[in-house]
Amino acid sequence: MLQDHTLMKKLFDTIAKAWKAFAARKELLLLAVPVDFVFYWLLAQLHYEIFNRASAAAMQLTALMGKQAEQLATSEAVPDLATLQSPEFTNAFHQLLMYTGIFIASAIALWLVGKGILWFIAHKTADKKVNAALFVKKFLGMTLFWALALVVVMTIALNVLDYALFSPIPLIGEGVANFIIFLLFAVFAYFVFLSYALLPNKVFIPTLTLGLTRWKELVPVHLVGMLLYFVAVSVPTSLVKVSIYLSLAMVLLISLPAIAFSRALWATAAQQVVKHA
Q: Is residue 44 part of a domain?
A: yes
Q: Is residue 3 part of a domain?
A: no
Q: What is the DSSP letter of 127?
A: T
Q: Is residue 6 part of a domain?
A: no
Q: Helix 174-198 vs helix 132-166: angle between axes, to the nearest 10 degrees?
A: 170
pLDDT at res. 274: 81
Q: Is residue 172 part of a domain?
A: yes
Calculate the CA dihedral of residues 15, 21, 22, 27 and round it to 10 degrees: 180
Q: Is residue 138 part of a domain?
A: yes
Q: Is residue 125 part of a domain?
A: yes
pLDDT-derived band of residue 94, with 50, 70 and 90 as boundaries? Answer: confident
Average pLDDT over residues 240-258: 87
pLDDT at res. 190: 93
Q: How many domains does the chain have?
A: 1
SS3 202: coil
pLDDT greater than 50 at residue 78: no
Residue 244 near residue 172 (C-beta atoms within 8 A): no
Domain of residue 91: give its range.
14-68+82-272
